[in-house]
Every structure is written in C-alpha cells, then in structure tokens.
Amino acid sequence: MGSITAYWDDSFVVHEPPAGEFEAEWTGRLAKREPHPDRPERLLNVRAILRTELAEYVSWEPAPSATDEQLHRVHTADHVSEFEAFCAAGGGRLTAETGANEASARAARHAAGAAAAAATHALDAGLEDVPYACVRPSGHHAQPAQVDGFCFYNNAAVAAEEALLADAVDRVAIVDWDVHHGNGTQEVFYDRADVLTISLHNDHWSWDPEAHPQTGDVDEHGAGAGEGYNLNVPLPPGTGDEGYADAFDRLVEPVVEAFDPDLLVVSAGGDAGTVDPLGRNVLTKPGFEELGRRARRLAADATDGRLALIQEGGYQVSHLPYATLGTLEGVLGLDSDVEDPFAWLGEDVDSARRRIDEVTAHYDRWWPLD
C-alpha cells in the first residue's frame, strides 16, 4: 500500500499563458477570448481531489526551486537566462501555442526542482512512499535550447540527471504516457545509452517545424550510443484502456526489464483521457488506475522499487483530476470506489493492436520483443 509524497508550490497556479482562441493567439474574429488550455484550474482540481479522496495517503511537501546547476545539465545557459528575462519583462507568447507571464519563470524553476526532489526521494524511499511532482508548467516538450508545447524546462530530464549523480544509479528509464510525443525528453537523451526513453502518444507528428521538429515516429529511435534507446509508440486515435495495456505488455514492460534501470521516472500526463480537448485517445479512470498499477509493478521488478511520478499534460479541467486520482490509486494498490463520470466513449482496440504490431516489429532488432 504505502503512501505518496506530493511536491507543491503556489507559483504553479500563478503562471498563466495569454488567453486567445484556445491555445492560439487572438485574431479578433470571435466575441470572447478563451483562457489558454493550460490554466491554473487544472492543478487546483488535481490537488482538491487528492485532498478529498486520498488525504490519509498523500502528504504535501514544498517544491524546491531548481538551481542553475540542475537546469544547466539539461538546458543551455542562454535558454535559461533568456526565458527568465522574457518573464521579467512581462511575458507574452514565445511560440504560436506557448506563452508565459511574469510568474512563469518562478513556476518553471519550482516544477523542475520538484522533479529533481522526487527523483532523490525515490532513491531513498522506494515503494513505501512514492514521490509525485504535482507541477505546472509541464516539461516534456522543452528541448535543450527552446520552449515548446506549454513547456519551458524539461522536468523529467532534470529528474533523470539528478538521479544519475547518485552512486547507486547508472541507468534511468523514462516512460511517458502523455498523449503528446515527449519530443523534448527524446532530444535531451537521443544519443545516450544511460537513459531509456519510451513515449506512448497520439500519432500527431510535428505541429511546428521550428519549435517541434520531431515527428514521434518509430524511425526516431536514437543515434550513436543511444541507438535503440529511444522508443516511440505512436498510437491511433481511439486507443483506450485495452490498447495501452497491450502496449505495456508487448513493449514497455519487456524493454524496461531488459534495460534494467536503477530508477523509473513516469511522465504522467492525463491528456490521453477520454474527453481531453488536446488528445484523441479514450483512456478512462480505470485505465489510468491500471497504468499506475503497472508502473508500480514495473518499478518493483526492475528498479528495486524506485519510482517517481511527474505531472505532465491534461487539459479537461474536470477529467484530469479523475485521471490523476486513478494513477495514484493504482500506484497505491487501492480498490477505488470513485467512478469516471466521463467514460462514455468506446475504444478502437483493433487499430491500436495493429499499430503496436508495427511498432514491435521495428524495435525487436534492439530488444527481446515477441
């Protein structure tokens, strides 16, 4: 059973990208500006449902601010200083969909610091007390020298680099089930064999050739020493609980076990959920519960119980908390009595399995896959 230590800072809900037309900038064609999809209510609702439903299992700790040293292991010094100067000047839009305000630099520092603290905590506590970085902004799209996809600093990468400083850690596995490709995490570790990156995501390809040049397809499988250590699992729209379970059975679990990492970091996005406006997959709360159970079991089998969870996306402000609750209930091994009020879409199991067949056939040259 165990418990959860959640890392939090109030700056996470002061960061706010500019309003416009959903994630895009305002054109003036409409009557009302819409708040950006990455709005504070996302995380406020997550914290509220955890306090309501898991109060006896979740303790809250302050999220430290990442140091320059921690950030510079992942990002160029110019990237960090230019982003902070941009926020100090009042913020605005950095790319078509990514923006910041004067509070965003502090929030991003605390998000990265929370991820690093979660990694360190996981090494000491194991599955008796699993760390969860309840953070905003997300990080998995942030690349070494540029922002992307609502992300400024790559929290999962900062966590992995922090863990690799420990004498007991030689290898880290990052499993990313956010509905969008973890392109920034891929970019950071693309030519390295000490960090395995696996991203399960919608088959959305690049949304911006400059800010997001990576496609997320299987042919992006790492380079040099990292060849074979970057796995992309692009899933068709309509993939749900059974499809994700199949991907874990056939790809995630055998590869992570063969890699034999010393820490498992999960980029735990909730936007593969059934009603998310930025995704097209249909995971339900029970599906997220199963992902949480599988993450715990995989950590028990492969990492001596070292598991760290880091919040990524999820943009339906009512469903994200249910998805996150399900993930943490699964990690804790709880039988939930909280149902998913949005689980009304069926899934396309056949299309998902055909795609997983194709992905497995690509990666079996490097890993023991059926």
- The answer to the question of residue 95 being in a domain is yes
Positions in the chain short of pLDDT 50:
none
**Is 90 contained in some domain?**
yes
User: 209-255: per-residue pLDDT in tens?
Assistant: 999 999 999 999 999 999 999 999 999 999 999 999 999 999 999 99
pLDDT of residue 348: 97
Determine the pLDDT at residue 272: 98
CATH number, domain of 168, equals 3.40.800.20
153 CB-near residues (< 8 Å, 6+ apart) = 66, 71, 74, 75, 80, 108, 109, 111, 112, 139, 142
| Active-site residue identified among 36, 140, 141, 180 | 141
Q: Which pLDDT belongs to residue 1?
A: 81
Task: Tell whether 174 is covered by a domain.
Answer: yes
319 labelled catalytic: no
Residue 326 included in any domain: yes
The residue segments making up the domain with residue 250 are 3-363
Number of domains observed in the structure of the chain: 1
Q: Which two tokens stand for residue 295?
A: 């993450």
Asked whether the beta carbons of 84 and 90 are under 8 A apart, the reply is no
105 belongs to a structural domain: yes
CB 193 within 8 A of CB 149: no
Whether residue 254 is contained in a domain is answered as yes
pTM: 0.98
143-178 pLDDT tens trace: 999 999 999 999 999 999 999 999 999 999 999 999
CA angle 45, 148, 232 (to 5 degrees): 90
The answer to whether residue 368 sits within a structural domain is: no
In a domain? residue 370:
no
Over pLDDT 70: what percentage of the chain?
100
| Residue count (the chain) | 370
